[in-house]
Chain A
Amino acid sequence: MGRYILKRLGLSLITLVIVSFTVFAAAEVLPGDVARTVLGPYASQQQVDQLNHKLGTDQPLVKRYLTWAGDFVKGDWGTSPILNVPVRPLVLDRLKNSLILAGFALLLIVPISVLLGVLAALNYGGAADRIITITGLSFVALPEFVVGTFVIVVFAVQLGWFPTSSSVPDANPVDIFKQLLLPSIPLMFVLFGYISRMARVGTVESLRSNYTRTAVLKGLPRRQVVGRHVLRNSLLPTITVVSVQVGYLVGGLVVVETLFSYPGIGQLILNAAVSHDLPVLEPAVLMIAIIYLVANFVADVLVAVLNPRVRLAT
């Protein structure tokens, strides 16, 4: 087990290095000149060169990457030349906001999706199965901005139950629901489709397996068969899917955050990309990658805990 975790950890770190370099390189080759963007179209070329030199953007790519990566690790993320604020508190604060929104959506939708997915599998081919499967598919097919706009129009504008734009909630549960329920609905629509389908497929497979037959022919009641023998094996793939979705959630919030003017990291990244604010863009994207890797790592460990074949093989 210990070796398995170390191995996974090592692989995560290697991935992180590759991702960070890709992020850095991609951002640096974006069209446009940093200094030109900062100084505007009327600045002289000399001023632009000077600022580029000051920012270090005239150095070779690998050298700049190393400096940047070193600074990132040390926590020295610099200041945004556009917003004129230190980058680290800005990115971390926005990340925290996004995590709150994503966590809320996940906490609500994962149990529902898994439950309905398993329910569909237990009624394989029946009415409940069809309804759940088709609902899931149609939800996934709906773009986030359509669902988002729809819920804003109905629940915020017409019914007035929720604010049209969401801010970060305080610890009050009523406020949490008030601020976060609407923006998380489009997210949940997408998640529900994926997660319930995965839970359904895993359960169907497990129900058909020989070990389930063994359990039934041992004379165990159905509740025991499903609870002890089926679910234990059927939810393993679902765990992996959920962890991948965490990455999607945190990174893919752009649309929803913009729609609800929620101050999350997605919105920040979008703005930084548009205004060519590299010192903000790079650490923000990297933080998302880190969240993604952490989620995957947690999923791997969880799968290992639940699956002795993985746990004991390495």
Chain B
Amino acid sequence: MSAVAEQAAVRIQGLTVSYRRRRKLLRVLNDVSFEIGHGEAYGLVGESGCGKTTAAMALMRYLPDNAVVDGGRIMFGDEDVLTASDSTLRKWRGERMAMVYQDPGSALNPSIKVGEQIAEVYRFHKHLGKSDALAAAIEMLSTVQISAPDRVARRYPHELSGGQQQRVMFAMALATDPDLLVLDEPTTGLDATVEAEVLDLVEQLRAQFNTSILFVSHNLGIVARVCERVGVLYAGRLIEQGPAQELFQSPRHPYTLALLRCMPRLGMRKDTDRLDSIAGSLPPLGAEIAGCVYADRCPIARDRCRNEPPQIEPVNERHGARCFYHEQVPGIPPQAQGIEQVPAAAVEQEALLEVEQLVKAYGSGTNALLAVAGVDVHVARGEVLGLVGESGSGKTSLAKCIVGLIDPTEGTIEFEHMNVTKGRSRGREARRRLQMVFQNPDNALNPSHTVGSILRRSLQLLAGVRSKRQQDAELEALTRSVRLEPRHLDVRPSSLSGGLKQRVAIARSFAGKPSMVLCDEPTSALDVSVQAAILNLLVDLQRREGVSYVFISHDLAVVRYVADRIAVMYLGQIVDVGPSEAVFSAPHHPYTEALLSAIPTLDIEAKARIKLRGTLPSPSDPPSGCRFHTRCPRYLGDICKTEEPPWQESTGGQTYRCHIAPVELQRLQTQDADAADAAGDPVG
């Protein structure tokens, strides 16, 4: 697709928006200008708090009540969205401009059938009668590739899977063939394979509808895949803009460069590479900054940067960066350079955790749902086991059984040679030595206690430190080990940023000197730059203390970076397990293969992605034979349906559960363009 067409579909000029908070105006968007051409996809990226969602919502003129537009225009054709009359706006919304958001489950009305919700658009904008509108809605559902659209149209949103819900949202948005489609994190919160499907859909629909797209996302990989041009927002300012490929391969703003370097890329390992992180933090909302907004965190900032706001400097005709010294950006050395990785504590042969034939069933009788269906897990002392799988795979149930939050239905769990199968009858010692870090630090910390008292309490309860003096000493050591400042101890968790909160949660779990910590998506709620810092911390702690982790994450690049061994779960069973590198390279289980190919990376070169058929079957009625056979891209025939597959021994200590022997699988998987080995490294 060509560059910006002569007349852009949307032109945002000098958009400046503030939020009113306690009589003060806090600026969230500052003089943001960009254009989206006809049929072009423009990506807006940035971390939380940078103003990207405000920009998207301003385009639809759906800002919160306390938002004030201080200036700027949003030209949609010849008219300004910001000054259009209410009736014009109503006509535009849904007909000429439409939106798809994050979390489709809440974006659909729970008490109206989805067919009707789509039909509404036709009734109001195309003035179709009730039955015609519904017929058009069903037609649209088949356009977004929903199978059995007439049946789905009669369903309520909660009866659909996340992927289907998002397809319904797309059907609704594209019903009237709009000129502009605003996508606000449309795949965030969806599983990797579902995300890949939705992105495929976006690409297909683009070819079909020639709609202009504004794609807002924090995920650079996705934006690189979908968009032609990208703008990077930082603290309410557009700091860099250019063609996607060029911008991601040779960024010219120090922030863009740093952001790209924070991402763990496939192929990075904790043994060899330390992740880059960005020092400092985002300036507070509404801060008056005389010079460049990034100067405080920038490694090449000079006096001029602090006193004079930079304009967008052209790098070339289509690429610009808001930096006086953008020519020096490619020469900035990685932050992590020169910082030695903490040497690894040796992985001992001693088994720390032994889970045998674990079954967790919810409900009973014919309705029983087997969340975990006979799983063996072994973790050695000092080892990190990565647990990978999509929602519904049973990984969270397994983790909860291990940590003792729920009791397994069958099977045994042995930890440090103690039988800890039943969570409630666990002794204090077992609890102390087996800790957990949760995904969302907001809910994991008591909001009415100060950080200091939270940690003191853990020291007292877990480590049994009673005397005040000893507590003080331990507290200081603990605080230092997670790199919190002493001043953080006196505040409550709510006044800390997400990354700091997660540090507190990690400190809490390490208070009792555990030998194993279960990390359940510990960085999923965090921004990329914060994620890098937390991962570095977790790796350092693990190596220094010789702790074992069971590390759950949906982000394969993160798991590959952290884990020594990886177990892949599907529908309550482990289907692939072995040393990380072995699992990540062929031959591996066809499901692992599909998961790997689903990851959007910054590699621009198109790769053949393995598409999974259908949706995840219900764990209450798993398919016969091999549980993956209904969706397997390497389906052999009846044997997969009727016989449970055997464990196959692959190279490097990896085993997987499949009817295809390693040699044959190796041949099949290397024949195709292999996704796993093409670990791109665009930034260098």
Residues of A that sit less than 8 Å from B by CB: 209-211, 213-221, 224, 228-229, 232-233, 306-309, 312
- Residues of A contacting B60 with CB < 8 Å? 217
- Residues of A contacting B92 with CB < 8 Å? 219
Q: Are B124 and A210 in contact (CB under 8 A)?
A: no
- Residues of A contacting B91 with CB < 8 Å? 219
A229 with B109, Cβ < 8 A, contacts A218-B172, A309-B158 known: yes
Can you list 6 A-B contacts (CB < 8 A)? A214-B107, A217-B94, A220-B124, A221-B90, A221-B124, A312-B156
The residue on B at minimum CB distance from A232 is B111
Which residues of B in the span 394-441 have a Cβ within 8 Å of any Cβ on A?
Answer: none
Which residues of B in the span 566-598 have a Cβ within 8 Å of any Cβ on A?
Answer: none
Q: Are B62 and A312 in contact (CB under 8 A)?
A: no
Instruction: Tell which of B90, B108, B124, B159 touches A214, judged by Cβ atoms closer than 8 Å.
Output: B108
- Interface stretch of the complex, out of B72-80, B96-104, B344-352: B96-104
Q: Are B94 and A210 in contact (CB under 8 A)?
A: no
Q: Are B94 and A211 in contact (CB under 8 A)?
A: no
Interface size on B, as a range, is 20 to 34
Q: Are B121 and A211 in contact (CB under 8 A)?
A: no
Within the assembled complex, what's the spacing in Å between the Cα atoms of A44 and B633? 95
- Residues of A contacting B94 with CB < 8 Å? 217-220
- Residues of A contacting B378 with CB < 8 Å? none
Question: Counting CB contacts under 8 A, is B125 at the interface?
Answer: yes
Q: Are A233 and B111 in contact (CB under 8 A)?
A: yes
Q: Are A217 and B112 in contact (CB under 8 A)?
A: no
The residue on B at minimum CB distance from A124 is B65
Instruction: Tell which of B95, B103, B109 touches A219, judged by Cβ atoms closer than 8 Å.
Output: B95
Within the assembled complex, what's the spacing in Å between the Cα atoms of A214 and B169? 9
Question: Counting CB contacts under 8 A, is B106 at the interface?
Answer: yes
Rounded to whole Å, the gap between the CB of A122 and the closest CB of chain B is 13
Question: Counting CB contacts under 8 A, is B326 at the interface?
Answer: no
Q: Are A211 and B107 in contact (CB under 8 A)?
A: yes
Query: 8 closest Cβ contacts across the A-B interface?
Result: A219-B94, A219-B93, A218-B94, A211-B109, A210-B106, A308-B156, A210-B107, A219-B90
- Residues of B contacting A228 with CB < 8 Å? 112, 120
Q: Are A308 and B158 in contact (CB under 8 A)?
A: yes
Instruction: Tell which of B90, B95, B110 touches A309, judged by Cβ atoms closer than 8 Å.
Output: B110
Residues of B that sit less than 8 Å from A by CB: 60, 62, 89-95, 98-99, 101, 103, 106-112, 120-121, 124-125, 156, 158-159, 169, 172
Q: Are A312 and B159 in contact (CB under 8 A)?
A: yes
Rounded to whole Å, the gap between the CB of B162 and the closest CB of chain A is 14
Besides A216-B93, A217-B98, 20 other CB < 8 A contacts?
Answer: A213-B62, A214-B108, A214-B169, A216-B62, A217-B62, A217-B93, A217-B99, A218-B94, A218-B124, A219-B93, A219-B95, A219-B124, A219-B125, A220-B90, A220-B94, A306-B111, A308-B156, A309-B156, A309-B158, A312-B159
Within the assembled complex, what's the spacing in Å between the Cα atoms of A216 and B103? 17
Rounded to whole Å, the gap between the CB of B105 and the closest CB of chain A is 9
Within the assembled complex, what's the spacing in Å between the Cα atoms of A7 and B159? 22
The residue on A at minimum CB distance from B125 is A219
Rounded to whole Å, the gap between the CB of A127 and the closest CB of chain B is 16
- Residues of A contacting B89 with CB < 8 Å? 219
Within the assembled complex, what's the spacing in Å between the Cα atoms of A239 and B159? 24
Q: Are A211 and B108 in contact (CB under 8 A)?
A: yes
Within the assembled complex, what's the spacing in Å between the Cα atoms of A233 and B156? 14
Within the assembled complex, what's the spacing in Å between the Cα atoms of A216 and B86? 12
Rounded to whole Å, the gap between the CB of B427 and the closest CB of chain A is 39
Q: Are B109 and A215 in contact (CB under 8 A)?
A: yes
Within the assembled complex, what's the spacing in Å between the Cα atoms of A109 and B91? 39
A214 with B109, Cβ < 8 A, contacts A219-B95, A309-B158 known: yes
Rounded to whole Å, the gap between the CB of A165 and the closest CB of chain B is 47
Most chain B CB within a 10 A radius of its CB, from A214, A233, A306, A309: A214
Most chain B CB within a 10 A radius of its CB, from A211, A215, A217: A217
Within the assembled complex, what's the spacing in Å between the Cα atoms of A219 and B92? 7
Within the assembled complex, what's the spacing in Å between the Cα atoms of A264 and B508? 62
- Residues of B contacting A210 with CB < 8 Å? 101, 103, 106-107
- Residues of B contacting A218 with CB < 8 Å? 93-94, 98, 120-121, 124, 172
The residue on B at minimum CB distance from A206 is B109
Most chain A CB within a 10 A radius of its CB, from B89, B95, B112: B112
Rounded to whole Å, the gap between the CB of B62 and the closest CB of chain A is 6
Rounded to whole Å, the gap between the CB of B586 and the closest CB of chain A is 42
- Residues of A contacting B107 with CB < 8 Å? 210-211, 213-214
Q: Are B124 and A224 in contact (CB under 8 A)?
A: yes
Q: Are A232 and B62 in contact (CB under 8 A)?
A: no
A307 with B124, Cβ < 8 A, contacts A217-B93, A218-B93 known: no
Instruction: Tell which of A215, A221, A308 touches B110, judged by Cβ atoms closer than 8 Å.
Output: A308
The residue on A at minimum CB distance from B106 is A210
The residue on A at minimum CB distance from B91 is A219
Rounded to whole Å, the gap between the CB of A147 and the closest CB of chain B is 37
